[in-house]
Amino acid sequence: MNQNKDTIVKPSILSGFLELLPEDQIIFNNMLDTIRSTFESYGFIPIDTPVIEKAEVLLAKSGGETEKQVYRFTKGDNDLALRFDLTVPLARFVAQHYGVLTFPFRRYHIGKVYRGERPQKGRFREFYQCDIDIVGDEKLSVINDAEIVSVIHSTFKKLGLDEFTIMINNRKLLNGFFMHYGIKDNVEVLRIIDKLDKIGADNVRKELVASGISENVADEILEFTNLCGDPDDVISALRQIDIDNDDFVSGLEELETVWSYIKAFGLDSSEIEINLKIARGLDYYTGTVYETILNHHKELGSVCSGGRYDNLASNYTKKKLPGVGISIGLSRLFYQLREANVISVSGVKTTTKVLFVPLGDTSAYAIKTANYIRRKGVNTEVYLNDGKLAKKLNYANKLGIPYVAIIGEDEVKKNTVCIKDMNSGEQSVYTIDELTEFVKNIM
Amino acid sequence: MNQNKDTIVKPSILSGFLELLPEDQIIFNNMLDTIRSTFESYGFIPIDTPVIEKAEVLLAKSGGETEKQVYRFTKGDNDLALRFDLTVPLARFVAQHYGVLTFPFRRYHIGKVYRGERPQKGRFREFYQCDIDIVGDEKLSVINDAEIVSVIHSTFKKLGLDEFTIMINNRKLLNGFFMHYGIKDNVEVLRIIDKLDKIGADNVRKELVASGISENVADEILEFTNLCGDPDDVISALRQIDIDNDDFVSGLEELETVWSYIKAFGLDSSEIEINLKIARGLDYYTGTVYETILNHHKELGSVCSGGRYDNLASNYTKKKLPGVGISIGLSRLFYQLREANVISVSGVKTTTKVLFVPLGDTSAYAIKTANYIRRKGVNTEVYLNDGKLAKKLNYANKLGIPYVAIIGEDEVKKNTVCIKDMNSGEQSVYTIDELTEFVKNIM
């Protein structure tokens, strides 16, 4: 490179990458904070793995689409890859540090992941994932699967996304059902079933038959996967089905246990449903699976998904490490909610609550008084540059700072502060002692 | 890849990458939080730029060492690079979004950066930087340079790193001094001066003379750069020096102004000194420069550095955008402080405050009661897996959870909770109403 100093390079970022302006960034960060504090409130422990890993380790299992999307490159002798999710790094982490971790290991991880997908609206090549997983050593009670639902519920409530449905299913139940009907290629059937919302029942039926399934069985499958709604009702209906396949029986039992503990967590069918169409990935999950939709924005698809797996780290260790977890793809969710105006910006482009504006030679007094308020926990800024009052007030207005403390020579003389409420336009004069009261009121 | 499923890949990360175990991660995250909240308390605004940028944009100016260290690669038609600092992305950001930003633009950015340095103890190829910068449009008052010192001061105090010295200098002063003595190659002189601590004054003198400087001038330089200490004293001494070079005069004037405002921020010479040896990079800074050392760990070198620059984004725009800022390399600082036992781990491996341990068939009651406490803001966990009481208490002990609520059938019957203080071993029984009091006490 070493370009000529006078050359101007057009400032731009790569397509498919998200960069927010402060107004949006502040909202985004608040969402990250909310998710993190909710995860911690349930006792999840933070980890933070390198973004760059050995390609050999990161891609130990993957293939197909994932591998094509991975950012992989060499530096020196090293074959490197950027992480494409937080689950593979978790598996590596747990296997690597097995001896010093305490199990069940409840971890959360919030970080950026990378996928070189074809750019399209609302899909990003760099995006935040917010994951929780509970990993057991050898075994892990299915009650944990119920707790995960409670965490999803709390998280979305705290995010202010009030109207949502958490849909659960159990992969064993599906597998058992298909086995009962002699279907060997579950994966193909699940792939077709997955299109129900897109192409409708008639077309799905046609595709099932085309794949070699008899018309009768296709009807049974459609009827079965159509079961959906209040968990008590779905469980009742499932109990009526006369299938004695082991997977089916134990899947139903798990689903019943999970649902009974979901109720212990204080949740009910107003926000939880069993939906037998939910399958989530095709060879990864082995028990409970989750998807979450926003009731008024079903077009966004699942905004929080996950499930139970028998063996997290089989690529890295012979230890059996079963687990259950979920992931929120926050960058995409944020982008979509902004586009749909579910999240709207407020004109606030800073976390500053009070701007001190010194007029004339009052900077030292303004700085001292600002320090005083700042120490009481209020984000406080001093306008330290030249300019007329109007320009300084305009700065506060543009950033959406709610209070401006105007400091003139009079204030210095009387040891007071004149604070203007930028919303109401009202001005009040405070002595230094009275500032404590002001601080209390705005906190 | 697509390796055989039975193949076990040894789980490991690349050399030169830092990965913390939960005990350390929690401390590290607390430090990040402290830095962030301190930055916000001064009105700095968050940004978060992509880790991957166009190589052409990111490397518009750089060359030499930096370029060799950059992680650069292609994907499809794109020539990509990972950011190696947060300053170049800031320059690109400000130039790209100039029209919609409010100036002075006070931004903070906390994120990972990448440098493929030769691995060595305490140097990482992926590390966190925590940056603040104040960027003006056309001009920026030198009072901002004083505010930066106040932010450094507050940050290190809040981090609990109490004994430190913030050293300031001014590049104009150095340039003016060298020009006065007819030295053209400032850069070479600064490079030699930089070795003072390492090789001593005698050797520096020899190198200066070897570089073509007369013995007399070498002595003058050594005497000059030896000025260091209480800013009032150094400024007095500088006033005695009879040099009328413009840069020297205006550098001294700036230094005096900055010092007078540092005092307005409530700081004094107990933690601030002027040190004429500080130069910081060789062609980047144009005015005030900063370094910060921990008094009892000078061997760590500067833990927070930065300075003033005339023109942040000259590679991306013709607008003149002067600024001032600093950076804390937190990964390295954390590692060094841990090694030096300034930060010591506490045995706490979770943020959980209370673990509920259900005995027998009491999970539902335990879950309900845990929910109650969690909603009051206490990080609360329920042990949802099988096992004997000793195993469950051991889990709490290993993670350093301070309180365990043991729930037996008696508790369910009486609607109470028995809470064991894991430090004192004391047990207390609370009714549900009394739990509010317990929560207050532990918050």
DSSP tag of A120: B
Considering only CB atoms, B45 lies closest to which of A46, A265, A350, namely A350
CA gap A31, A325 in Å, rounded:
20
Burial of B198 per CB tally in 10 Å (0-12, 13-18, 19+) = exposed
This complex has an ipTM of: 0.96
Integer Rg of chain A from CA: 28
- Do the Cβ atoms of B391 and B399 come closer than 8 Å? no
Considering only CB atoms, B50 lies closest to which of A13, A56, A104, namely A13
Q: Which residue does chain A place closest to B19, by CA atoms?
A: A49
CA gap B288, B318 in Å, rounded:
23
The rounded mean pLDDT for chain B is 94
Q: Which has the closest alpha carbon to A19: B315, B95, B56?
A: B95
Angle at A58 between CA A55 and CA A61, to 5 degrees: 110
B379–A42 CB contact, under 8 Å = yes
Q: What does the pLDDT read at residue A3?
A: 44
Q: Which has the closest alpha carbon to B296: B168, B166, B164, B197?
A: B164
**Shortest Cα distance from B218 to chain A (angstroms)?**
33
Strand-by-strand arrangement of the B272-275 sheet: B45-46, B105-114, B126-135, B323-329, B305-309, B288-294, B164-170, B272-275, B228-229
B385–A318 CB contact, under 8 Å = no
- Across B276-287, average pLDDT: 82
Residues of B in contact with A138 (CB under 8 A): none
Q: What does the pLDDT read at residue B241?
A: 95
Considering only CB atoms, A126 lies closest to which of B50, B59, B63, namely B50
**Shortest Cα distance from B427 to chain A (angstroms)?**
22
pLDDT tier, B3 (very low <50, low <70, confident <90, very high otherwise) = very low
E-strand stretches of A83-220: 105-114, 126-135, 164-170
Residues of B in contact with A61 (CB under 8 A): 1, 3, 5
**Shortest Cα distance from A406 to chain B (angstroms)?**
17
- Do the Cβ atoms of B174 and B276 come closer than 8 Å? yes
Residues of B in contact with A41 (CB under 8 A): 374, 377-380
Question: Best mutation site among A6, A29, A39, A41 for testing chain B: the one with the most B CBs within 10 Å?
Answer: A41
Residue bearing the bigger pLDDT, B61 or B382: B382
Tokens of B321: 């955008």
Q: What does the pLDDT read at residue A109?
A: 98
Pairing of strands A45-46, A105-114: parallel
A25–B48 CB contact, under 8 Å = yes
Query: Could you give the C-alpha distances from B385 to A218, A384, B275, B362, in angstroms and in order?
Result: 40, 58, 60, 12
pLDDT tier, B307 (very low <50, low <70, confident <90, very high otherwise) = very high
**Shortest Cα distance from A24 to chain B (angstroms)?**
10
Strand-by-strand arrangement of the A380-382 sheet: A380-382, A354-358, A403-407, A416-421, A427-431
**Shortest Cα distance from B375 to chain A (angstroms)?**
9
- Across B336-349, average pLDDT: 92
Residues of B in contact with A97 (CB under 8 A): 21
A60–B126 CB contact, under 8 Å = no
A with B: how many residue pairs have Cβ under 8 Å apart? 302
Give the CA dihedral B247, B251, B257, B259, nearest 10 degrees: -170
Considering only CB atoms, A19 lies closest to which of B50, B264, B367, namely B50
pLDDT tens-digit profile of A8-54?
999 999 999 999 999 999 999 999 999 999 999 999 999 999 999 99
- Distance in angstroms between the alpha carbons of the first and the last residue of chain B: 50
- Across B321-344, average pLDDT: 95
- Do the Cβ atoms of A255 and A170 come closer than 8 Å? yes
A60–B374 CB contact, under 8 Å = no
Give the CA dihedral B336, B337, B339, B340, nearest 10 degrees: 120
Question: Best mutation site among A2, A3, A7, A13 for testing chain B: the one with the most B CBs within 10 Å?
Answer: A13
A60–B106 CB contact, under 8 Å = no
pLDDT tens-digit profile of B159-175?
999 899 999 999 999 99
Ramachandran region, residue A232 (left: φ > 0; alpha: ψ -120 to 50; beta: rest):
alpha
B367–A265 CB contact, under 8 Å = yes
- Across B37-66, average pLDDT: 92
B371–A265 CB contact, under 8 Å = yes
Considering only CB atoms, B11 lies closest to which of A7, A71, A95, namely A95
pLDDT tens-digit profile of B408-420?
999 999 999 999 9
Q: Residue A120 forms beta bridges with which residues?
A: A123
pLDDT above 70 (res B93): yes
pLDDT tens-digit profile of B357-383?
999 999 999 999 999 999 999 999 999
**Shortest Cα distance from A12 to chain B (angstroms)?**
6
- Distance in angstroms between the alpha carbons of the first and the last residue of chain A: 50
Q: What does the pLDDT read at residue B2?
A: 42
Tokens of B178: 């060298």
CA gap B100, B82 in Å, rounded:
26
A350–B43 CB contact, under 8 Å = yes
E-strand stretches of A24-163: 45-46, 52-54, 72-75, 78-82, 105-114, 126-135
Instruction: Give all domains of chain B, ordered by start, each with its CATH number.
Output: 13-157 (3.30.930.10), 354-442 (3.40.50.800)
Considering only CB atoms, B26 lies closest to which of A46, A61, A93, namely A46
Question: Best mutation site among A19, A29, A80, A349 for testing chain B: the one with the most B CBs within 10 Å?
Answer: A19
- Do the Cβ atoms of B328 and B294 come closer than 8 Å? no
Tokens of A67: 């591998």
**Shortest Cα distance from B203 to chain A (angstroms)?**
34
Considering only CB atoms, A1 lies closest to which of B63, B74, B379, namely B63
CA gap B46, A110 in Å, rounded:
17
- Do the Cβ atoms of B403 and B419 come closer than 8 Å? yes
Question: Best mutation site among A5, A9, A398 for testing chain B: the one with the most B CBs within 10 Å?
Answer: A9
Residues of B in contact with A266 (CB under 8 A): 368, 371
Residue bearing the bigger pLDDT, B281 or A170: A170
DSSP A348-384: ------EEEEE-SS-HHHHHHHHHHHHHTT--EEE--
Q: What does the pLDDT read at residue A281?
A: 65
Q: Among the ranges A195-209, B197-211, B270-284, B368-382, which has the highest mean pLDDT value?
A: B368-382
pLDDT tens-digit profile of B69-91?
999 999 989 999 999 999 999 99
Q: What does the pLDDT read at residue A1?
A: 38
Residue bearing the bigger pLDDT, B338 or A279: B338
Tokens of A300: 């966004």
Question: Best mutation site among B23, B41, B393 for testing chain A: the one with the most A CBs within 10 Å?
Answer: B41
CA gap B100, B109 in Å, rounded:
18
Global pTM reads 0.96
**Shortest Cα distance from A376 to chain B (angstroms)?**
10
B54–A386 CB contact, under 8 Å = no
Residues of chain A where predicted confidence (pLDDT) is lower than 70: 1-6, 62-64, 281-283
Considering only CB atoms, A50 lies closest to which of B19, B49, B57, namely B19
